[in-house]
Amino acid sequence: MKRTQEGVTTGRSKIDELDIHLLTNLEERQDRLYAILSKTTRYRNILGGEVKKLRAGSAPEMIRPLVAQWDHLRREIKRLAQEL
């Protein structure tokens, strides 16, 4: 490591124990956020497809059960969000 004129050390320093815990917590939060993003993107794509079908003239009675089959995704998104 080199010292600058002001006496501050440059370069990488050893990560202390507090930083390791912080890093672990941040990585876990990042993983949970990625899971939420992934599931919401999937759900959005599914809904987008169903909206296209409705606009193309499909009967709403046929679309409602198709959308309802993905309710488990909404519940999963809600659970993941609550864990944050």
- Tens of pLDDT, residue by residue over 4-16, are 555 555 555 666 6
**Total domains present in the chain:** 1
Domain-located, residue 5: no
Tokens of 19: 């930083």
- Tens of pLDDT, residue by residue over 24-52, are 889 999 999 999 999 999 989 988 988 89
Domain-located, residue 11: no
Q: Residue 16 gets which letter from DSSP?
A: -
Domain-located, residue 36: yes
Residue 35 is part of which domain span? 17-83
Domain-located, residue 10: no
- Tens of pLDDT, residue by residue over 63-83, are 888 888 888 888 888 888 888
Domain-located, residue 24: yes
